[in-house]
Amino acid sequence: MGRTRTKIVSGEEQSKNKETKEKSKKSKKKYIDLGIFYITSELNNTIISFTDSRGNVLKWSSCGHAGFKNTKKSTPYASAKAAEILVEKVKSNFDIGEAKVIVKGIGPGRESALRVIFNNDFNIVAIEDKTPIPFGGPTPPKPRRV
């Protein structure tokens, strides 16, 4: 293995490079007029995703992604941590005008994930519940004929 070559830069040039890097970091935030948070809460896991108004997924997080395994993924604490991770990702990458939250599922983590998103500085316009509800169902058995 050879030696690595390093380039020594004077102090003035280093400070200029740092300023340009800082400027580029600030300008990387993308403005989104309407962002939608989808909370899909199942019995075993909670998946939270952030999309734009067209439905393109920009960032996502889940309880398993947050580091929880097995039955600990199905707790409200795990879904709150997953929501916190997603909120940090969204705030660092995007400027959001308005936010909408769509909740789906009957899992234990839906309320805690919603609470985390609500407590941050998002201008929440609407909260929808799109949990599928069965209707009709199977027909009852006919009465017995004797």
Domains (ranges, CATH) in the chain? Answer: 30-129 (3.30.420.80)
By percentage, how much of the chain surpasses pLDDT 90? 51
Average pLDDT over residues 6-10: 65
What is the average per-residue pLDDT within 52-65? 92
Bridge-based pairing of strands 46-51 and 124-129 is unpaired
Q: Which long-range contacts (CB under 8 A, 24 or more apart) does 137-141 make?
A: none
- The average confidence (pLDDT) of the chain is 85
**Long-range pairs, 22-27, Cβ under 8 A, ≥24:** none
Q: How many CB atoms lie within 10 A of CB 40?
A: 19
Instruction: Tell me how long the chain is.
Output: 146
Nearest-angstrom CA–CA distance, 57 and 51: 4
- How much is the pLDDT for 38? 95
Query: Residue 113 corresponds to which tokens in the numbers above?
Result: 């994930």
Q: What is the pLDDT of residue 107?
A: 87
DSSP 56-98: -EEEEEETTTTT--GGGGGSHHHHHHHHHHHHHHHHHHEEEEE
Is the pLDDT reported for residue 34 higher than 60? yes
In this prediction, residue 30 carries a pLDDT of 86
Q: To the nearest whole percent, how much of the chain has pLDDT over 70?
A: 82
Contact predicate 61/85, CB 8 Å: yes
Answer whether residue 144 shows pLDDT above 90. Answer: yes
Tell whether the model's pLDDT for residue 36 goes beyond 90.
yes
pLDDT of residue 23: 55
